[in-house]
């Protein structure tokens, strides 16, 4: 028996997405660049998928570029934005301390190229303020990148206000929408978002595929040299099954968003109340506005490096912070930015709930978590 509360790490594939993919994993194996019927069959799938994804996001199909996932989209967006600015002599970039490493490490690389980077702080409840962006904007600012929702604490950022500020100053605005995509409203019609990154497996699509939205008029810089696929913005034969699956998943996710969000939020609230009833427990990041399913909790004196395996043995799948290459389980940079001590950050667990749970599951989960936290505390108490 498993309780999966790690939706922020990845999600299960929608059956509809799998069904849409199957023909392209089997008989419809053509290369969309080929001129023969098999190729045309694949080319058609690619066009349909692009239109389906564009409809789901209310954007134009030409604004959708398929990539190898969220990290690649982030990399390409930042490099594109920085280099467009540099052509006009603008070499200053603004982002926040709580971004995903795909953004932070791209910025580090751009810094090595000679760009100047300002990383804005976040408030104690996990928000970046439009005022701080306003203050940081300079005549030579090329790009601002602020995530739509944080992957570790779930707080939803005021990206519309920030995008508007950027546009008043003629500065490009990118948002990493990987976590937010399926759970919040993203409005591309107002034209304040220039680029946005998406990852299919966060909304019940397949892994290894994503979208980089780029507003018409923005010329993406290709990271991969080769053929002219994706209008020359990403070389390499298109991953047709994954792209088709992503489009199907995105459509369904957008349809179910409103109904599922409410249900998931009420489950989160139930879990939150039960866990906070324990002493020495604190919630990280504000509840509103936040993603419906993400709940980050610090359990004093219960190191997550011990709690995670213990919960895993009982079938509870959760994470301590983001699930990056587990070679480096360092305290979360997001929690540290909120002002937590390293010790507190290392005693924190991220629960990210999905629609597959019910209230009875939540009660069971809360009971197991509280049991392990209490046992760990007693053990440490006995040692002292």
Which residues would be at the binding site for another protein (CB under 8 A)?
A: 303, 305-306, 308-310, 312-313, 325-331, 342, 346, 376, 379, 383
CB of 255 to another protein, least distance (A): 38
CB of 5 to another protein, least distance (A): 18
The answer to whether 324 is a known catalytic residue is yes
DSSP 323: -
DSSP 183: T
CB of 99 to another protein, least distance (A): 17
CB of 307 to another protein, least distance (A): 9
DSSP 91: -
Q: What is the dihedral of CA 201, 206, 207, 213, to 10 degrees?
A: -60
CB 155 within 8 A of CB 125: yes
Pairing of strands 141-145, 172-176: parallel
Between 219 and 330, CB nearer to another protein: 330
Q: Which token pair is 259?
A: 């109904």
Between 258 and 382, CB nearer to another protein: 382
Q: How far apart are CA 160 and CA 65, in angstroms?
A: 22
Q: How far apart are CA 365 and CA 363, in angstroms?
A: 5
Residue 281 DSSP SS3? strand
Residue 110 DSSP SS3? helix
Three-state SS for 325-378 is CCCCCCCCHHHHHCCCCHHHHCCEEEEECCCCCCHHHHHHHHHHHHHHHHHHHH
DSSP sequence for 184-252:
S----TTS---EEEEEGGGGTS-SS-EEEEE-TT--PPPSS-SS-TGGGTS-S---HHHHHHHHHHHHH
Between 208 and 329, CB nearer to another protein: 329
Picking from 283, 257, 278, the residue whose alpha carbon sits closest to that of residue 377 is 278
Q: How far apart are CA 48 and CA 38, in angstroms?
A: 16
CB of 375 to another protein, least distance (A): 9
Between 86 and 375, CB nearer to another protein: 375
CB of 304 to another protein, least distance (A): 10
CB 317 within 8 A of CB 2: yes
CB of 223 to another protein, least distance (A): 19
Instruction: Find the catalytic residue in 224, 286, 310, 324.
Output: 324
Can you tell me which residue has the tokens 């349809």? 255
Q: Which token pair is 181?
A: 């995509």
CB of 309 to another protein, least distance (A): 5
Element (H, E) at 300: none
Residue 151 DSSP SS3? coil
Residues involved in catalysis: 324
């Amino acid at each position: 028996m498993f309780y999966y509360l790690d939706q922020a790490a990845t999600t299960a594939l929608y059956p509809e997405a799998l069904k849409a993919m199957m023909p392209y994993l089997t008989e419809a194996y053509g290369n969309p660049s080929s001129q023969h019927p098999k190729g045309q069959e694949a080319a058609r799938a690619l066009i349909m998928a692009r239109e389906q994804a564009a409809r789901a996001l209310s954007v134009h199909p030409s604004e959708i570029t398929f990539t190898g996932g969220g990290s690649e989209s982030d990399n390409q967006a930042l490099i594109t934005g920085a280099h467009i600015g540099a052509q006009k002599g603008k070499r200053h970039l603004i982002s926040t301390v709580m971004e995903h490493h795909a953004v932070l490490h791209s910025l580090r690389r751009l810094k090595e190229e000679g760009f100047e980077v300002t990383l804005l702080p976040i408030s104690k409840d996990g928000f970046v303020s439009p005022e701080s962006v306003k203050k940081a904007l300079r005549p030579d600012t090329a790009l601002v990148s602020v995530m739509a929702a944080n992957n570790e604490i779930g707080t939803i950022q005021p990206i519309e206000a920030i995008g508007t500020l950027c546009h008043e100053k003629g500065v490009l605005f990118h948002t990493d929408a990987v976590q937010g995509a399926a759970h919040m409203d993203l409005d591309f019609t107002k034209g304040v978002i220039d680029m946005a990154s998406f990852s299919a497996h966060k909304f019940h699509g397949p892994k290894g595929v994503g979208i980089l939205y780029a507003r018409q008029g923005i010329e993406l810089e290709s990271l991969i040299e080769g053929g002219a696929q994706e209008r020359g913005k990403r070389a390499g034969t298109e991953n047709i099954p994954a792209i088709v699956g992503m489009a199907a998943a995105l459509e369904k996710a957008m349809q179910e968003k409103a109904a599922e969000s409410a249900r998931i939020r009420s489950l989160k609230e139930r879990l939150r109340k039960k866990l906070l009833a324990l002493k020495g427990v604190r919630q990280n990041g504000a509840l509103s506005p936040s993603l419906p399913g993400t709940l980050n909790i610090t359990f004093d004196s219960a190191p997550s490096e011990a709690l995670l395996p213990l919960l895993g043995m009982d079938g509870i799948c959760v994470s301590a912070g983001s699930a990056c290459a587990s070679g480096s389980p360092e305290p979360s940079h997001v929690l540290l930015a909120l002002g937590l001590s390293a010790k507190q950050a290392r005693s924190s667990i991220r629960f990210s709930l999905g629609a597959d749970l019910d209230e009875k599951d939540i009660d069971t989960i809360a009971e197991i978590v509280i049991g392990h936290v209490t046992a760990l505390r007693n053990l440490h108490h006995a040692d002292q």
